[in-house]
Amino acid sequence: MTGGLPIYFDWSATSMKKPHQVKTAVIHAMEHMASAARGSYGPGLNAGRVIFQCRLAVKTFFNGTELRHVIFTKHVTEAINIFLKGFLRSGDHVITTIQDHNAVLRPLHDLKERGVHYSVLSADEWGRVKLTELDQVVQKETRAVVLNHGSNVTGNLIDLAAVGEWCRDRGIIFVVDAAQSAGYVPIDMIANNIDVICFTGHKGLYGPQGSGGFILGEKFDVQEQVDGSVIDLSAQIRPLMSGGSGIHSFLETMPEALPDRLEPGTANVPALAGLKAGIDYLNMRGIDAMFDQATELAYHFYHKVKALPGVHFYGDYESYDNSSSAADCGYERLPLVTFNIGKVDAATVAQELWRKAQICVRPGSHCAPLIHRHFKTEDQGMVRFSFSHFNTLAETERAVSVLGEICDEYL
């Protein structure tokens, strides 16, 4: 992105630049695909086929177990709402964290009216969630732990394996909001004992906006008991919405079978075609390599900006501080850097970056009120630079230089 085009450092909000394969797939779907499950003519069957392929790609990507347990939604927000509001019951207790997004906090707040209550794990001075508090807040009514894997504010990552094991040992459902980490960090549902993974298609998965969903893990597969009876936990998820499904039209309720029960209305076929192409792209490039490239830039940016006057960072940068090169950092944090310059309003810094050099960054509160309160940045906000392998060193250097000018002018 050079030659007068915007320099984009807001990948945590959405991946503005898509691989060309994604654009081709979206256009192909718009030209050749009708509605799925609505007819047996070619373009309708094409739509059904691409949805099937996308379901398979998503299931494989996160190591899910059953194809019918991949549920598509418009975005992760809808996925989280459908699962939490469909599954939790009055009297249930939930544990979440201070780094969670409003996509989790607001549904949990809504659920208070229905008798669901929740506790929030706090953080240390670097914003690292205190997992040791799990043992202090757990109750006999605790039905789920719902957490944001990678903070869109600090870039800190939560140890999924540790929480997954803790939940498994207590029979608690483990729900992960992977909005930020999916596509950046490998996530294996089985290895980490994840029961529900919620994802959005338009960020690190490089799909279009309007794609997302959730996957139910092994615990939701039909379990046969020794006495021959079966337990199907997935049957307990009540649909949040109902409507056309293309099948069983004379039923007054949604069909029981998944994914149909939780996917009313016409599927967004172009978005799912694009999401499938985005995942194929990740598999082809390799997410390790892409993560390393983005981390290289974030690491470089962090060390350069650290040398500017009055800069204060938010998050755990221990891996960047203690490694002699980005290659040694590993999956310790997401490739994003969040900071403030003295007491300058974050929105002013973002505006100056745009005005001076058409640099796109995200200021403000990032829809994550609790972690902002923790850092006392409710008024000032924070400036967030988030990186992708699509960025270049020249763009990163340009941003550092403009930040230097802003420091000179405002401090």
Ligand X SMILES: Cc1ncc(COP(=O)(O)O)c(C=O)c1O
Residue 63 Ramachandran class (φ > 0 left, ψ -120 to 50 alpha, else beta): left
Q: Give least dist CB 77 to ligand X, A.
A: 3
DSSP-derived 3-state class of residue 35:
coil
365 binds ligand X (CB under 6 A): no
Of 31-90, which residues contact ligand X (CB under 6 A)? 75-77
Shortest distance, position 270 Cβ to ligand X, whole Å: 17
Q: In the bound complex, what is the minimum distance in angstroms from residue 152's beta carbon to ligand X?
A: 3
Site string for ligand X, 90-119 (x = CB under 6 A): -----------x-x----------------
Return the number of the residue (81 or 293) whose C-beta is nearest ligand X: 81
Q: C-beta of 401: minimal distance to ligand X in Å?
A: 28
Minimum gap (Å) between residue 54 Cβ and ligand X? 17
Task: Give the nearer residue to ligand X in terms of CB position, either 179 or 254.
Answer: 179
The answer to whether 177 contacts ligand X (rule: CB under 6 A) is yes
What is the secondary structure of 165-198 as a DSSP string?
HHHHHHT-EEEEE-TTTBTTB---TTTTT-SEEE
Among 142, 152, 193, 340, binds ligand X (CB under 6 A): 152
CB of 128 to ligand X, least distance (A): 16
Strands 336-341 and 311-313: antiparallel
Name the token pair of 241: 């919405």
Nearer to ligand X, 46 or 152 (CB): 152
- Burial of residue 257, with CB atoms counted within 10 A of its CB: 0-12 exposed, 13-18 middle, 19 or more buried: exposed
d(CA 398, CA 7): 9
Binders of ligand X among residues 190 to 249 (CB under 6 A) are: 200
Q: Which of 148, 268, 386, 396 binds ligand X (CB under 6 A)?
A: 148
CA distances from 152 to 160, 270, 316, 371, 383 (A): 16, 27, 13, 10, 12
Q: Which amino acid is at 50?
A: V
Interface size with ligand X, residues (CB under 6 A): 11
Handedness of CA 407, 409, 410, 411 (dihedral sign): positive
The CA R_g of the chain, rounded to the nearest whole Å, is 22
Binding of ligand X at residue 180 (CB under 6 A)? yes
Q: Least distance in Å: CB of 6 to ligand X? A: 19
Residues at the site binding ligand X, with contacts judged by CB under 6 A = 75-77, 101, 103, 148, 152, 177, 179-180, 200
